[in-house]
Structure 1
Amino acid sequence: MFPLLCPVREADWIHGWDPILVVSEAGCAEADCVFTTPASPTDAVWYITRYEPENGFVEILKITPSVTACRLTIQLRGVPGGCEAQVTYMHTSLGPDGDAFVGDFTETYYAKFMQDWESRMNHFLRSGQALRADA
């Protein structure tokens, strides 16, 4: 599962994921990889600060100028019969649009967001195909 936590490989399991730019020596996730994705009002810049495949851990900073700064961490752990992921997001507002975003990032929203993430990942791991948004 860990190799799928990559700006390039996420396109395999997230229908419609298409980073604009990926700057990386290896062409995929690694420490100091930088990538951009479409966002509003300007594109988001993602920076992989820690990439530890041997520990199943990745930390990414995502900056959407004038909106939010976000720290995303993903920690994988083996469990009987598979793997579980602990995913954390910490958003800091950078202005009025960020205030609205942070205000809407409720526990209920986050639970739904993570259920969608989990469904997409599990569908891909079972079928080898990305779950389409209209499915």
Structure 2
Amino acid sequence: MAVFTPDRLTVSAEMFLEHPAEAIWPLLCPVREYDWIAHWRCEVLRSESGVNELGCVFRTNLPGAGPEVWLTSRFDPCERLEFVRTGRDRVIHFVIRLLPENGGTRLTWTHHVTTLTEAGNAELADKPAAFASQMAQLERMLGHYLETGGMLT
């Protein structure tokens, strides 16, 4: 019998937006992401306030990721947001940091990925390039929304 050995990978990306963290923070929410991410779909399973908060739990089935359950594990408004994302093939500890810089905000997005299956291990080879592409797309969408109040289509 083969023994599965989980693997781990960390990927990070930075973006700079010419808006204060107070304008960006509310948009980093599973409910508010409908306003600015065209393909976003989720089911909020638990939230006292109806939006993101510490202990918020929601489910997604995003293309390429499959079904995942997310838990908001750290919630420091306008400074730091963390999720734990669990799926069939991997667990992702997802960290977003917001730092004020020159009147705007520098955001650092980090995925700490731990695989749970051989299929998860196989996905790691493509993760850095896919993550960089995803973050560039999110930067364009978020920046467009902050500038115009509308979704980038």
TM superposition score normalised by structure 2: 0.78
Q: 2:145 aligns with which of 119, 124, 132?
A: 124
Alpha-carbon deviation of 1:102? 1.5
Q: Which has the higher strand share?
A: 2
Letter in 2 for 1:105: K
Instruction: Please name the residue that 1:20 is paired with.
Output: 43
Alpha-carbon deviation of 1:83? 1.1
Instruction: Please name the residue that 1:2 is paired with.
Output: 25
Which structure exhibits the higher relative contact order, with contacts defined as CA atoms closer than 8 Å and separated by 6 or more residues? 2
Larger radius of gyration: 2
Alpha-carbon deviation of 1:42? 5.5
Deviations 1:58-116 (A, max 9, x none): 01000012x1100000011111131110110111111122112222112x333222111
Find the residue that maps to 1:125 and give its secondary structure: helix
Q: Cα 1:42–1:75, aligned 2, differ >3 Å: closer, same or farther?
A: closer
Asked whether the equivalents of residues 77 and 83 of structure 1 are also in contact (C-alpha less than 8 Å), the reply is yes
Deviates more, 1:116-125 or 1:12-21: 12-21
How many residue pairs align between the two structures? 129
Alpha-carbon deviation of 1:33? 0.4
Q: How does 1:48-59 map to 2 (within 5 A)?
A: 48-53=72-77, 55-59=78-82
Unaligned segments of structure 2, at least 5 residues: 1-23
Identical pairs, percent: 33
CA RMSD in angstroms comes to: 1.7
User: How far apart, CA to CA, are the structure 1 residues paired with 2:107 and 2:37?
Assistant: 16
Unaligned segments of structure 1, at least 5 residues: none
Asked whether the equivalents of residues 58 and 74 of structure 1 are also in contact (C-alpha less than 8 Å), the reply is yes
Deviations 1:30-78 (A, max 9, x none): 000000011578620000001010x52101000012x110000001111
Find the residue that maps to 1:35 and give its secondary structure: strand
User: How far apart, CA to CA, are the structure 2 residues paired with 1:82 and 1:22?
Assistant: 33
Asked whether 1:100 is paired with 2:122, we answer: yes
Q: Cα 1:27–1:78, aligned 2, differ >3 Å: closer, same or farther?
A: same
Alpha-carbon deviation of 1:122? 0.2
Instruction: Please name the residue that 2:104 is paired with.
Output: 82
